[in-house]
Structure 1
Amino acid sequence: MPKFLALAPLCSSVFFVATGAFTLLISVSQTALAQLNANHTTYNPTQLVEDVLINGGECVEVSGITYTGHNQARGYFTGGQNTVGFESGVILASGRVSNANGPNNAENETSDFGNPGDNDLDLAQPGSCNTHDAAILSFDFVPTQDIASFEYVFGSEEYCEWAPSNFSDVFGFFISGPGISGPYSGGAVNIALIPGTSTPVSINNVNQNTNTTYFIGNNGSCPTDANLNVEYDGLTVVLTATTPTLTPCETYHIKLAVADCSDWILDSGVFLKEGSFNAGNGFSVNTGVGGVSGINLMYEGCETGYFVFIREDTTDLSQPYTITGITLNNGSTATPGVDCNTIPSSFTIPAGQISDTLWINAFIDFKTEGIESLILNIPTGCPCNNSTITKTMLIKDADPQ
């Protein structure tokens, strides 16, 4: 049997040398072939908005999050890059979100919850449409710029047999607030539009015969079959929903909704790209140690810790982004310059870069101090609410060799 010798000092990662077999084991990971995986259990509605959909760092304020519909008709999905066109995000459906998972082995996948529809969705579908089994995710937000946008894909089991028809399911993104006047509740307008037009995206308006540039067939009933590993028989390409001109720092309301039309059968769903809801400038700060992001416990003399500063608005990288006024929180027990390197009072993400990293090196001082905390106060610089966030790095004594 080979013997295993631990390399010193012992840090937060695991390293082994197998002597006699001449094998070095550092880390082993395998990535399974990604495929669409939608479920309703990973996140609740508040998390779907705050932790998945919203892109705005610390600056975009969100409140009043509500969800109406069956709890299995809203959820989170991963593995969507080769099916819907982006890796992960929020899914709302007129049936179970798990029904969207491939392969496409049924032409009439259906969940009938017997739930009511929505008046705005009734109005959004031209002609006579009484909606059923609506899934509605709503929230208020305060933009820091005059435009908000996000990316999405719509898919349905009603393609291509029922396109167009009076049974075509319907969805909409309804926004209301200062300066907006439309026909929907609260004076809202629908921003789920065919690019360059004022025509709503729907099964009747985007299909195998109409606006075909924006349509992907995924079933033998369609002229072409993309054979995507998703249950829906047809989908749109990735589209962008863009708001009318907004007033920064004012509160707006958005309702994201989908429902069956005229019946309770044949599921439809809308996929919202993770992190694509962009309502203003800002930044976020993540921690990490060594090559692992999301952790904040480091050992003296071992891997380097870090705070990574990330721009949330990446549409224009021509100018540097500077965060000023960084200070040490009074609750810190680690002393910069003694326990670790000094901390600057400002940090700049250079022009042309989405992010940059503030590195933390913890010094071995051969003292038994327990876990010390390095806590930074970081002003958000938000134009609507200039608050301060705190980020923490923990430093543990070097393990005995």
Structure 2
Amino acid sequence: MAKKRLAVISLNPSPPAPVATRSTLKAIQQAFPDFEIEVIYVTDLMKRARLRMVTAAAVAGVSYMPDLLRRRKVLKYAFFRTPFVYRWIGHLLRREIDPDRYDFTIQIQSLFDASVPGVPNFIYTDHVHLENLNFDGFDESDLYSEGWRACEREIYHNATTVFTWSSNVTRSLVEDYGMDPGRVECIHTGSNSAIPEAQPLTPERYARKEILFVGHDWERKGGPVLLQAFRKLEDRHPDASLTVIGRVPETEDLTGVDYLGRVPLETLPAHYARASVFCMPTRLEPFGNVFVEAMWQQLPVVATRVGALPDIVEDGVNGYLVPPGDADSLAERLSTLFDDPDRCASMGAASRERAETHYDWPIVIGRMRQRIEAELAAGQPAGAQAAQ
């Protein structure tokens, strides 16, 4: 009997793609050991036609010229968000994916349509474009073109099932894209770091009052707001400390802050393990895997009520959620934790428990496999709309 075969389609290998791409691919490979898995990178196919790459860049430049000139958009992201590139990638994948060769396909990300008539296609995505409208400071003028948005809608409707990382994305697919709720399933995601051994919960760790922030986009991740909140803690908790990992503008006053800049990924677990609280008051976040990593490290999490974070943080159980941009509320919640190391420890334990039940790769991809097997057994028609 011939071995079963599936194709996983991703935009880029990692790096330069986010480390989550590599983690997802590894989890899929472990969850489907009875399948021969072939990985197709879209950009590798595109680079075979250099002249068309130049044309695609020109199309994006013309399509988004005003926003590019005002620096409201970046060309490397706009490049993939035109109908021209959408159709080109679709053509390349239809040539690459032979219905007689593959049992089904899984595409990571939703910047392209990997659906091919006769091959069930499953999407696994952390974000959808229209969900951005639910973030403060983002309005319709910030969206990509109407033509691209129509292409994105088609991507989801051509899929057999769309798997999401979080319930807000699931809701947006149903409400904003008109998806049948039965064709969308939130399965969450796993950690990008190795799972640490659970440590004894000692109040001493949480009594150290060490706040950890990990984020490279200082403004968007809420760094200035955290800094304001930290200054507000000086009277009640003068012994509190703040460690910042990432990139911070040189103009920022970091007096009294342990600023480490960028650190190797393999050293991050040690920083989580030393911390008492994880805090990143982001104002716009598609997901934020650092929150999951902090939960696995038994840390209470203080975050903002945006995007996927209400899935990750159950307010008052494994941390607190505050409005974005609210330094007073942030300082109050941090102070509440520092006032009570036992509460900190209890929330840290709840974080670990939530990570084990929601954000563990074997569980996440196990849900994906179970759904895929059910769809294949039911003979779900694939690419029906793509064939029209």
Larger Rg: 1
Higher relative contact order (CA 8 A, sep 6+): 1
Q: TM-score, normalised by structure 2?
A: 0.24
Q: TM-score, normalised by structure 1?
A: 0.24
